[in-house]
Every structure is written in structure tokens, then in C-alpha cells.
Amino acid sequence: MTKTNAARLLDSLGIHYKLREYTVDEHDLSAPHVAEMIGMPPEQVFKTLVARGDRTGVLMAVIPANTELDLKALATASGNKKVELVSLKEVMPLTGYIRGGVSPVGTRKAYPVYLDETVDLWDVISVSAGMRGCQMLLAPDDLARAVDAQRSAIAIWPK
């Protein structure tokens, strides 16, 4: 397996993680489908969404696979009046990752990351390793540490 930027960053920080590969279904890139493919409950598999706030600019939200992003809650947590998801065509230029493979770790530029408060319910969570077909399993605190090492801000929300 090729090491992604996300995996290389975790390695450089000495963070323990496991990679779990799965067969990509180009017709279903949804996070609940990924959870099914890797044999984990969707509440424990987190998807990374890229958004833009009217005051702060680009930010990332990491939420459970089976949930929808609450844009109002994210706006409040991030100090914005309004937050919108970026268009799919912007995802790659902003993050360096393709849709279905966006990781909160190892992005092209350091953006603030907002982790859903439910990460604290799990000893281990799954997030994209930075490519389709591969997930990283790691402790939520280790994810927060990795994100913090490369980002200007990290927050658990909506606390």
C-alpha cells in the first residue's frame, strides 16, 4: 500500500494507527457504505467535509458517517454567521484529496478542523487515510493531536 500524506504525518508524530483497505464502489462513495465495507458501525466511521465560512474561510468538519452536517451549528462553533459546503470541484484544489478520500490529516493547506463531539464516545474511530479505498483507525485524541500539529485550530463541537 502506498503511504498517503495523512499516514506519513502520523508516522512523523509517532502516532499509532492501523490502515484498513476496502474495495471502492465508484457508484457508492457514501460514508455509510465505507463503514459497511470495513465492518464498523457508521457511528464510529467519520467523514470529512470541506466548508467555507463567511468570516473565517475554509474549514473542515469531521462527523459520523450516518449524519448530515448541521451548517448552523458549525457556523456557531467556528465564529461564522453562515457556513456552506464547498463545491465538489473545489475539494481537490483546496485539500489535495479527491471526493471519497478527504482526510482531516495531511491536507494541502492547514485549515481549522471541527470534530463532532461523538468522537469522544469511541476508543478508536475511522477516518479516510487520504485516498479512496483506505481508512485509518486511530484514537480520537491521536487524531486531534495530528490535526493540531498541522492546523491553526481544532475544536470539538457543538459543546
Does the pTM surpass 0.85? The reply is yes
Domain 5-157: which CATH number of 3.40.50.80, 3.90.960.10, 3.60.40.10, 2.30.30.90: 3.90.960.10
Encode pLDDT of 60-86 as tens digits: 999 999 999 999 999 999 999 999 999
DSSP output for the chain? -PPPHHHHHHHHTT---EEEE----TT---HHHHHHHHT--GGGBEEEEEEEETTTEEEEEEEETT----HHHHHHHHT-S-EEEPPHHHHHHHHS--TT---SSS-SS---EEEEGGGGG-SSEEEEEEETTEEEEE-HHHHHHHHHHH-S-EEEE--
What proportion of the chain, given as a percentage, has pLDDT over 70? 93
Q: Enumerate the domain spans of the chain.
A: 5-157
Tell me the per-residue pLDDT of 4-48, one tens digit each, with 9 for 90 and over.
Answer: 889 998 999 999 999 999 999 989 989 999 999 999 999 999 999
Q: Check: CB of residue 94 under 8 Å from CB of residue 109.
A: yes
